[in-house]
Structure 1
Amino acid sequence: MAQHKEASNVSTSAARFIQEQLIAIRRHLHSHPELSHEEVETTAYIRKQLQDAGIRIAPFPLRTGIVAEIGGGKEGPLIAIRADIDALPIQEETGLPFASEVAGRMHACGHDFHTAAVLGTAFLLKEREETLAGTVRFLFQPAEEKAKGALEVIASGALKGVQAIFGLHNKPDLPVGTIGIKEGPIMAAADGFVVEVEGRGSHAAVPEASVDPIVISAHIITALQTIVSRNVGALDSAVVSITRLNSGTAWNVIPDKALFDGTLRTFDENVRTAVRERFERIATTVARAFGGAANVRWLEGPPAVVNDGAWAEAARSAARAVGLTPIAPMPSPAGEDFAFYRREVPGLFAFLGTEGPQEWHHPAFDVDERALPLGASFFAELAEIALNRLSHTAHTSTKGKISQ
Structure 2
Amino acid sequence: MGANGSGTIVSAEGIEQKLVDIRRHLHQYPELSHEEFETTAYIRRRLEEEEIRIATQFDLKTGLIAEVGGLHGGPVIALRADIDALPIQEETGLPYASKTPGNMHACGHDFHTAAILGAAFLLKEKEHELLGTIRFVFQPAEEKAAGARKVLQSGALDGVRAIYGMHNKPDLPVGTIGIRSGPLMAAADGFLVELEGIGSHAAVPEASVDPIVAAAQLVTALQSIVSRNVSPLESAVISVTRLNSGTAWNVIPETAVLDGTVRTFDEKVRNRVVERFGEVVNGVAAAYGTKASLRWIQGPPPVNNDGELADAARRTAERLGISVVTPKPSPAGEDFAFYQKQIPGFFAFMGTSGPKEWHHPAFDIDERALPISASFFAELAIAELERFATEP
TM-score range, shorter chain: over 0.9
For each residue in 1:315-358, what CA deviation from the matched residue of structure 2 results, as whole angstroms up to 9, or x when unmatched? 00111122211110001100000001111100200000001000
Structure 2 CA distance for partners of 1:311 and 1:125, relative to 1, 3 Å: same
Match of 1:260 in 2: 258
Match of 2:203 in 1: 205
Match of 2:50 in 1: 53
How many Å separate the matches in 2 of 1:179 and 1:49? 27
SS in 1 for 2:77: strand
Question: Does the Cα contact within 8 Å between 2:72 and 2:131 map onto a contact in 1?
Answer: no
1:70 matched to 2:92? The reply is no
Question: Does the Cα contact within 8 Å between 2:64 and 2:138 map onto a contact in 1?
Answer: yes
1:45 maps to amino acid: Y
Match of 2:12 in 1: 15
Q: CA deviation at 1:93?
A: 0.3
- Once the two structures are superposed, the pairs formed by residues 196-235 of structure 1 within 5 Å of their partners are 196-235=194-233
- Once the two structures are superposed, the pairs formed by residues 16-31 of structure 1 within 5 Å of their partners are 16-31=13-28
1:33 matched to 2:19? The reply is no
Question: Does the Cα contact within 8 Å between 1:92 and 1:99 map onto a contact in 2?
Answer: yes
How many Å separate the matches in 1 of 2:122 and 2:72? 21
After superposition, the CA RMSD in angstroms is 1.2
Structure 2 CA distance for partners of 1:9 and 1:376, relative to 1, 3 Å: farther
1:293 matched to 2:297? The reply is no
Structure 2 CA distance for partners of 1:225 and 1:350, relative to 1, 3 Å: same
For each residue in 1:212-253, what CA deviation from the matched residue of structure 2 results, as whole angstroms up to 9, or x when unmatched? 000000001111111111111011000100000111111111
SS in 2 for 1:279: helix
1:43 maps to amino acid: T
**Structure 1 regions of 5+ residues with no counterpart?**
397-404
How many Å separate the matches in 2 of 1:262 and 1:8? 53
- Once the two structures are superposed, the pairs formed by residues 29-178 of structure 1 within 5 Å of their partners are 29-59=26-56, 60-72=58-70, 75-178=73-176
Match of 2:344 in 1: 346
SS in 2 for 1:326: strand
2:211 maps to amino acid: P
Structure 2 CA distance for partners of 1:91 and 1:69, relative to 1, 3 Å: same
1:120 maps to amino acid: G
Q: CA deviation at 1:305?
A: 0.6
For each residue in 1:119-178, what CA deviation from the matched residue of structure 2 results, as whole angstroms up to 9, or x when unmatched? 000000000000000000000000000000000011111011100000000000001111
How many Å separate the matches in 2 of 1:5 and 1:136? 15
Match of 1:401 in 2: none
How many Å separate the matches in 2 of 1:176 and 1:252? 57
Question: Does the Cα contact within 8 Å between 2:3 and 2:382 map onto a contact in 1?
Answer: no
Q: CA deviation at 1:9?
A: 5.8
Match of 2:363 in 1: 365
Question: Does the Cα contact within 8 Å between 1:200 and 1:212 map onto a contact in 2?
Answer: yes
2:319 maps to amino acid: A
For each residue in 1:239-292, what CA deviation from the matched residue of structure 2 results, as whole angstroms up to 9, or x when unmatched? 100000111111111011000100000000000000111111111111101111
Match of 1:180 in 2: 178
How many Å separate the matches in 2 of 1:74 and 1:130? 8
How many Å separate the matches in 2 of 1:56 and 1:5? 24
Question: Does the Cα contact within 8 Å between 2:171 and 2:351 map onto a contact in 1?
Answer: yes
Q: 1:313 aligns with which of 311, 314, 317?
A: 311
The farther-off stretch of 135-144 and 319-328 is: 319-328
Aligned pairs, number: 391
Question: Does the Cα contact within 8 Å between 1:8 and 1:384 map onto a contact in 2?
Answer: no
1:302 maps to amino acid: P
How many Å separate the matches in 1 of 2:33 and 2:319? 35
Q: CA deviation at 1:78?
A: 0.2
How many Å separate the matches in 2 of 1:367 and 1:317? 25
Q: CA deviation at 1:73?
A: 5.2
Question: Does the Cα contact within 8 Å between 2:77 and 2:135 map onto a contact in 1?
Answer: yes
2:373 maps to amino acid: G
How many Å separate the matches in 1 of 2:77 and 2:160? 5
How many Å separate the matches in 2 of 1:343 and 1:8? 35
SS in 2 for 1:18: helix
Q: CA deviation at 1:195?
A: 0.4
Question: Does the Cα contact within 8 Å between 1:216 and 1:287 map onto a contact in 2?
Answer: yes
1:192 maps to amino acid: G
Question: Does the Cα contact within 8 Å between 1:7 and 1:384 map onto a contact in 2?
Answer: no
Match of 1:194 in 2: 192
**Structure 2 regions of 5+ residues with no counterpart?**
none
SS in 2 for 1:344: coil
Q: 2:378 aligns with which of 377, 380, 394?
A: 380
Q: CA deviation at 1:11?
A: 3.3
Structure 2 CA distance for partners of 1:9 and 1:352, relative to 1, 3 Å: farther
Structure 2 CA distance for partners of 1:188 and 1:285, relative to 1, 3 Å: same
SS in 1 for 2:18: helix
1:17 maps to amino acid: G
- Using structure 2 for the length normalisation, give the TM-score: 0.98
